[in-house]
Each structure stands twice: as C-alpha cells, then as structure tokens.
Amino acid sequence: MPRLRLRIALVEAIEATGFIAWRAFLKAATDYTAATGKTLRYFGPEHAALETGHAIGADDIDRELRRISLTPDERRQAIGMVDEVFGLFDKMLQEQLDYAQADRIPADA
C-alpha cells in the first residue's frame, strides 16, 4: 500500500504540471492561429481537451485523496518525487524555449 500512495502522489504531480502547461499551450496556439490563420493541431483545443479532461480536480477523487494518510517517511518521499517532477518539467520547458529562441524553427512552420 505505501508504494500505491507514492504512485498517486507522482501521478497527481504529473497531472498538475500538465494541466498548467496545457493552459499555456492552448493560449499560445490560439494566439498563433489568430496571427497566422494556421491551426496547431497538437497544441490546439481538441488535444488540450483530451489532455486536461483527466481525473484531476474531480470532487470524488479529491475527497478520496484527502483521506489518504502518509507516514512521515512517505510524505518526505512524496514531496521529493513531486519536486523532481516539477524540476524535470521545468527543465523540459526551458529546453523547448531555448530551442525556439535559437531561431531553429522556420517562421513559416
């Protein structure tokens, strides 16, 4: 059971980062479409709806998650995993930004 509780923390961290990222991706895609008339399918509304339509934030799931009790050691491990997920996600997005700012993406892409 302890491993399951830690997996839940990991999944929730991934879902949380994805939820925030998809809001930004969708805004960028919408702005891009408005400026160019071209649709970014991967970052557009259809894919965003699929990616953000997961269980995060569902009332019944939130209630169940609040019932989970972690030992101090599990809590420490869970916080470490969440910090690592957030750090990796930040690194991934920074690499994407660096790539885009290096003018490697054609303007007419």
Pick the more confident residue, 88 or 44.
88
Domain assignment present for 88: yes
Question: What pLDDT score was predicted for residue 96?
Answer: 86
Domain assignment present for 108: no
pLDDT band (50, 70, 90) for residue 106: low
Closest CA to 78 of 44, 86, 24: 86
Domain assignment present for 44: yes
| Number of structural domains found in the chain | 1
Q: Note the helical H segments in 1-109.
A: 2-36, 45-52, 59-67, 72-101
Question: What pLDDT score was predicted for residue 21?
Answer: 87
Domain assignment present for 109: no
Domain assignment present for 106: no
Pick the more confident residue, 83 or 62.
83
Pick the more confident residue, 25 or 54.
25
Range of the domain at 78: 2-101
